[in-house]
Structure 1
């Protein structure tokens, strides 16, 4: 299968290992991964902060860039959520019904990584090996917008050497929320403290998730505490093998 990688801004600029791991994993499974170089921001930040008009050119560019591909994957529940739930809405509110229809078509072929692996490729045992004690944080957009459910957990349970430990109050937000963390810093910090307390209670040495944005927030808090717990994107865990 030929799969287009929607890398996302944050992965591209700050956490490229998550994107590289996505490519390694899919290529190991026998698929061709292509990187459309015209891609840019999906516009989620613009919509969420009240600038839909500024989002419209980004929606047009995203649709134009990914329209030629039958399958698109992103290592980000947040950005996939924006593509599915915001792009057509932005186009429709701007009076561009043709763009809205094209955006809906592209969004119907766009998947978060765990969705692609389980629902499209029909595989859960990826031949991964990751000898660590791991806890999983289900990010808000993955949990509530995409409703990925237990797909990431099913994948993690099939990783050899991995001990999966349940995260208490896992469904609670970590407090990042994009610009929420900037505009509501005190509340965000309090939410992060709760999340970190729950992560540390598991005794895990790795906290994983499907969004680098949340991992950045959680990882920053853990590093300031010098807790010795790492944050690792789900793609990196699944791409690991005994020989890597």
Structure 2
């Protein structure tokens, strides 16, 4: 499968190793990973903070960059960005775009996945050959839990990691209260 990898603006600047690991994993699983040039922010932070018109160029850029018909799926290691592409881009296109933008947004949204969704639902993989001999827990992001409804896919993947000591997190379905731009503006909190 030819998979377009979206780095996300935060992934690119704060967590580049997660983006690299995504590319390495998918390549190791036998897929052709492409990184469309010119990708930028998906516009989610603008939309979430009330700047509805400003992300139009970002939405247009995303739809153009990942709209290539040879790209069979678009993946990102971020539930928030996947949620924005699948839900918020349509809202922006309807309010401030045109018919061509709406068509491009719809085409890309239909093939966009958060990483665990792509692995489990599309590729049918839960065992990726990972080894991590440490004690961990998992707290789902609000967008992956509520907007995308990825369910237990991340946990299914974690349960297959060799050597892991996976501990259930009580109240994991509760918001941690630290998402979005609040986390960036108030990092010391």
**TM-score higher than 0.5 here?**
yes
1:168 correspondence with 2:170: yes
Aligned to 1:101: 103
Aligned to 1:67: 67
More helix by share: 1
Q: Please give the alpha-carbon distance, in whole angstroms, between the structure 2 residues aligned to 1:180 and 1:160.
A: 35
Aligned to 2:128: 126
For structure 2, the 5+ residue unaligned runs are none
C-alpha displacement of 1:95:
5.0
Aligned to 1:230: none
Q: Please give the alpha-carbon distance, in whole angstroms, between the structure 2 residues aligned to 1:175 and 1:8.
A: 21
Which aligned pairs between 1:11-50 and structure 2 lie closer than 5 A? 11-50=11-50
For structure 1, the 5+ residue unaligned runs are 186-216, 222-244
Q: Please give the alpha-carbon distance, in whole angstroms, between the structure 2 residues aligned to 1:90 and 1:97.
A: 12
In the alignment of these two chains, the number of paired residues is 187
Give TM-score scaled by structure 2 length.
0.94
Aligned to 2:117: 115
Show structure 1 runs of 4+ deviating over 2 A: 179-183
Q: Residue 91 of structure 1: which of 87, 90, 93 is its match? A: 93
| RMSD across aligned positions (CA) | 1.6
Aligned to 1:51: 51
Question: Which is greater in Rg?
Answer: 1
1:140 correspondence with 2:142: yes
Q: Please give the alpha-carbon distance, in whole angstroms, between the structure 2 residues aligned to 1:117 and 1:4.
A: 14
> C-alpha offsets along residues 54-79 of structure 1, whole Å, 9 cap, x if unaligned?
11111101100000022110000000
Decide whether aligned partners of structure 1 residues 58 and 95 sit closer, same or farther in structure 2, where only a CA change above 3 A counts.
closer
**Secondary structure, in 3 states, of the residue corresponding to 1:3?**
strand
**Secondary structure, in 3 states, of the residue corresponding to 2:81?**
helix
